[in-house]
């Protein structure tokens, strides 16, 4: 499962989820068995070699149509900002999906 995150840093221990207009780096996590297996970084989310299954945004008001056009499901992390917290919320199905 590939999860796409708009972050403010490549340091996953300190990086925080940002608004789509303020993204410093896009991070694609390969998650398998509840663990991060692989991490990739790109300046543009469309540059990743393999497509993402999900993108996580910080609130419902973000402009997410470009992701939906690529059939990437959009999840909202209302309170989680750090990668570890977002991953945990994803695993426990605490992130809300924006319907198409």
pLDDT in tens, 6-33: 999 999 999 999 999 999 999 999 999 9
- Tell me the domain boundaries of the chain: 2-97
- 3-state class (DSSP) for residue 47: helix
pLDDT in tens, 22-72: 999 999 999 999 999 999 999 999 999 999 999 999 999 999 999 999 999
| Alpha-carbon 31 to chain mean position | 12
The answer to whether residue 99 scores a pLDDT higher than 90 is: no
* Residue 56 CB partners (closer than 8 Å, separation 6+): 3, 4, 5, 6, 17, 74, 75, 76, 77, 86, 90, 95
In this structure, CATH architecture of domain 2-97: 2-Layer Sandwich (3.30)
Tell me the whole-structure pTM to 2 decimals.
0.95
Task: Give the pairing of strands 54-57 and 35-42.
Answer: unpaired
């Amino acid at each position: 499962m590939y999860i796409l995150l708009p972050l403010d840093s490549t340091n996953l221990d300190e990086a925080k989820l940002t608004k789509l207009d303020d993204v410093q780096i896009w991070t694609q996590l390969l998650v398998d068995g509840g663990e991060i297996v692989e991490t990739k970084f790109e300046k543009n989310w469309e540059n990743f070699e393999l497509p993402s299954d999900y993108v996580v945004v910080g609130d419902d008001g973000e402009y997410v149509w470009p992701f939906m056009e690529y059939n990437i499901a959009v999840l909202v992390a209302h309170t989680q900002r750090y990668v570890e917290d977002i991953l945990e919320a994803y695993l426990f199905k605490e992130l809300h999906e924006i319907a198409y």
